[in-house]
Structure 1
């Protein structure tokens, strides 16, 4: 009496290669796409941290640095050289918001100064 062939295929004995034309499967491992290597996200994380810190502290220079770092990280992520494209984009947006806050504060100070005739006496 013969049994029908296993629908999942016969497992190769350990240490033997499958016949030519069939993919090799290591014992205990299934077929599937290989995981890509983890990508570097350090620049995107640093850009996001600097942008958030500059927004909280209301200082202009770190906002500009966060925007520049965010643009560099975003372009690297788009080229596939690094990861963290979303974090880089968030850093750019938050950095520009920080720059806008600084510009609005400066405009407000100048406006108040003009209205009061810049009297420092």
Structure 2
């Protein structure tokens, strides 16, 4: 599981499809502009992106108060990659001004109650 909170962290992403990187870059750019680069990413306003790389990591989302069987996403989008892979980007709001975007391979959606 990888956590990306700021634009400069996006440039360090390795082994991630460019289409997925573009979605992450857009999300953290908005967070940095709207909430500031010096925000407390864990407890302040704004949020961050989590990349789930194995289905076992879905259970670790409970550590940040996201239960994939109960949480209701604000949105869920497919990310179609040029290499044929399909990912999903799912925004879960934890309060009015704090959200986490979960990015993961499409096949992991079957281990959640989320719909894309």
TM superposition score normalised by structure 1: 0.23
Report which of the two has the higher share of helix: 1
Q: When the two structures are superposed, what TM-score results if normalisation uses the length of structure 2?
A: 0.24
- Between structure 1 and structure 2, the one with the greater Rg is 1
| Structure with the higher fraction of residues in strand conformation | 2
| Bigger RCO of structures 1 and 2 (CA < 8 A, at least 6 apart) | 2
